[in-house]
Chain A
């Protein structure tokens, strides 16, 4: 899962920029899913 990758990159490899990039990806995925769900519930499929 993405959380494990973030933990591995940030705390084990000290690759903080990589961990931050994965965190941004997780945030973008969440926002995209919420937007799609909101449109679906409103009856306006995207």
Chain B
């Protein structure tokens, strides 16, 4: 049985070695104008937080947060339809359309977005190409298939009975039984943050 773990351990060791090499490089001194490095130093790690780089770090955090939120908002209805539709044809169509971007290369998709976001195909009221808006559109498109599949997998494990019970609880919110109803709901119905967190990872 332990022998089966061997391939996973080999992969882990390769990843760990790569990370260790990266960390070692970050501790070496940069010699300007030379490909050789100097001795050990912490200057590189301190330089990461230099004022000229804070804008890049802020942009990365803001863009990734916006991408996560917009992808979640855009992917949730599609994932819900994928998980709940009774029609096999509709499910297959959604699945094929969701998986289609996986079959095209990242560079091909990027050039397709360059055509769409530029003013060659459509006339945009605001500049899209080479702006943060365009980057956001590309990132959301890149993340959506993964988010849809993860959300659909999470939603498909929830019995629709709970959703119907939840909607009844909403209807009886003013009734005396509402408190016991909400207690039961919180015990049985997974909070939406769980699915959102699963997709956002």
Contact = CB atoms under 8 A, between A and B. Distances in A.
Interface of A: 1-5, 14-18, 20-27, 29, 33-34, 37-38, 40-41, 43
B44 A1 contact: no
B44 A41 contact: no
Contacts of A22: 48, 53
A21 B45 contact: yes
Interface string B59-102: 11101100000000000000000000000000000000000000
B25 A20 contact: yes
Interface of B: 19, 22-23, 25-30, 32, 35, 37, 44-45, 47-48, 53, 56-57, 59-61, 63-64, 135, 191, 193-194, 196-198, 200-201
Q: Is the interface of A mostly helix, strand, loop or mixed?
A: helix
Ordered nearest first, which 6 A-B pairs have the shortest CB separation?
A41-B197, A20-B25, A21-B44, A20-B26, A21-B26, A17-B28
Which of A1, A2, A27, A40 has the most B CB atoms < 10 Å from its CB?
A1
A17 B197 contact: no
Nearest to A5: B56
B53 A5 contact: yes
Contacts of B196: 41
Given A14-B35, A21-B47, A21-B48, A38 B30 contact: no
Contacts of A21: 26, 44-45, 47-48
Given A17-B37, A21-B48, A41-B197, A1 B26 contact: no
